[in-house]
Amino acid sequence: MNGDALVSLREAETAQAVAAPITAIVEAARARHGAAVSAVIFYGSCLRLGDDDGKIVDLYVLVDSYGAIYGKGLRAFLNWALPPNVFYLEAPFEGRRVRAKYALISLADFEKGASGRWFHPYLWARFAQPCRLPYCRDAAVRARAVAALAASARKVAGEGLALVEGTFTSRDLWVSVFRQTYRSELRAEPPERAEEIYQANAAHYARVAATVLPLLGAQAVGDSWEAPPRRRAEFKWLLRRWQGKLLSVARLVKAAFTFQDGAQYLLWKIERHSGVTITLTPWQRRHPVLASTVLFWKLYRRGAFR
């Protein structure tokens, strides 16, 4: 067993076809950013559920460089200093709107983060999970993206192996590490979210475990595994939680300057949950931070929140 088997596993997984609405929103993202887009990754809840209607599609848009997207300026610098930048996008499809929230990151930064060269699990925890590659510019880009995804799965499995002892199952491994990764970000998900993530694609995680755990020194025992001796990982995850909270706050502040169409996204979320609709003026779209006080008051007066 070698690492090529894991690459082949992720290649087959990511090559699966996506539904027509996903293709439509992927093409809209490519059209927005042009020839600098090297690949687009589809992942997240819409993939797990197999449905995007009334939901937000999660994408990662991998690009050649930040300068190719923004030119020179603040957004290019912030995307380089603290990737990724986040965007909101809508596209028409058969009489309805497909909506997406996508992260933009250079292919080189994606390789660093997904493969585990980042200490924080922001990327490698996400992309050990199932995903698709509905667009790659060419075979070379696809090979780089798939290699990063394979490294991500190996990284997460290795981190999970440091959290279990004795005999464990595939579920024990993945749920343990996903719980830790959720704790390392400012997220609203309850603790049982890690279990839901695992159960939604249990077969995928079992295949990855069977492929990668022998490379990491674990021994198969029937349907379970025997963990090798390990160093305690608690302090490392404590550091990641501290780092993650700081990074989450920094990304929220950055989003005020870089989240293109972020106000439109928030208003859609509010409309979905409260039924209150507000149409943004062109000025409000260009200056969402300056307009936020007025918008908050209008939404409050109309009963969007209490």
pLDDT digits (tens, 9 = 90+) for 29-45: 999 999 999 999 999 99
Tell me: do 285 and 172 sit in the same domain.
Answer: no
Q: Is 176 in the same domain as 220?
A: yes
Identify the band that residue 235 occupies on the pLDDT scale cut at 50, 70 and 90. confident
CA-closest candidate to residue 28, choices 97, 127, 128, 120? 97
Q: What is the pLDDT of residue 71?
A: 92
Same domain (yes/no): 283, 224: no
pLDDT of residue 286: 58
Same domain, 147 and 275: no
Residue 120 · residue 156 · CB < 8 Å: no
Is there a single domain that holds both residue 78 and residue 43?
A: yes
**pLDDT, position 185:** 82
CB 120 within 8 A of CB 244: yes
Cβ neighbours of residue 272 closer than 8 Å, sequence gap 6 or more: 54
Last residue of a domain, one of 237, 260, 283: 260
pLDDT at 2 over 60: no
pTM for this model (two decimals): 0.85
Strands (E), 64-177: 85-93, 96-106, 131-136, 167-168
Owning domain of residue 296: 262-306
Q: Are residues 201 and 296 in the same domain?
A: no
**Region 154-162: what's the mean pLDDT?**
94
Q: Do 151 and 272 sit in the same domain of this protein?
A: no
* pLDDT band at 5; cut points 50, 70, 90: very high
* One domain, residues 62 and 138: yes
Q: What is the CA radius of gyration of the chain?
A: 20
Looking at the structure, do residues 232 and 289 belong to the same domain, yes or no? Answer: no
pLDDT band at residue 254 using 50, 70 and 90 as cut-offs: confident
220 with 190, same domain?
Answer: yes
Query: What's the CA angle centered on 20, arms 18 and 22, to 5 degrees?
Result: 60
Q: What is the pLDDT of residue 207?
A: 95
Total domain count, the chain: 2
More confident residue, 113 or 273: 113
Reply yes or no: is the peptide bond before residue 130 cis, omega within 30 of 0: no
Instruction: Tell the residue number behind the tokens 């499809």, with chain if given.
Output: 93
- Greatest mean pLDDT among 226-235, 261-270, 272-281 lies in 226-235
